[in-house]
Amino acid sequence: TPNVRVVSTWDFGIAANQAAWAILGKGGHALDAVETGVQVPESDLKNHSVGKGGYPDRDGRVTLDASIMDADGNCGAVAALEYIEHPISVARRVMERTPHVLLVGDGALQFALEQGFRKENLLTPEAEKAWHEWQKTAHYQPSIN
């Protein structure tokens, strides 16, 4: 099995890959590997573009989007989901436990809570401070990254 491999975007992909590798390297399922892998940046409070610690929208609300897909066309996704640290895992539940593919907003949160996910504040003090700084100018220009 020479081609067992995981790849991911950006430098923070290294840590995410290593979490995925803990599953892949033992012969585990690719679907479990990618879910576990991307949970790492979702939990990283220093990462302001994924999960908890993410920068909020202009109203100060952290709203998360995620999707997951396997080789057979099975897929699930959530969009504009608030208060749940691991949207990727909610996406997987959408895939495996509903007849749907995409849940959004309040409906996605309701589903997550029914599935036993814990509601929590995702807006860290650091992200809240950055949001207040942004509000001084409220200039919206996504930067090249």
Q: Considering only CA atoms, which of 51, 73, 53, 75 is closest in space to residue 64? A: 51
Span 1-30, contacts to other proteins by CB under 8 A:
1-14, 16-18, 20-21, 24-25, 27-30
Residue 1: strand pairing partners? none
113 binds other proteins, rule: CB under 8 A: no
| Residue 45 in the binding site for other proteins (CB under 8 A) | no
d(CA 91, CA 101): 8
Residues 6+ apart with CB under 8 A from 87: 42, 51, 64, 65, 66, 78, 81
Does 38 interact with other proteins (rule: CB under 8 A)? Answer: yes
106 binds other proteins (CB under 8 A): no
| 73 touches other proteins by CB under 8 A | yes
Shortest Å distance, C-beta 74 to other proteins: 9
User: What residues between 121 and 140 interact with other proteins by CB under 8 A?
Assistant: 130-131, 134, 138, 140
- Residue 112 binding other proteins, by CB under 8 A: no
The residue from 55, 107, 113, 128 that contacts other proteins (CB under 8 A) is 55
CB 86 within 8 A of CB 117: yes
- One residue of 43, 45, 67, 115 binding other proteins per CB under 8 A: 67
Q: Which of 145, 105, 124 is nearest to 44 (CA)?
A: 124
Q: Which of 85, 82, 2 is nearest to 38 (CA)?
A: 85
Among 62, 84, 109, 112, binds other proteins (CB under 8 A): 62
7 vs 116, which CB is nearer to other proteins? 7
| Residue 8 contacts residue 37 (beta carbons within 8 Å) | yes
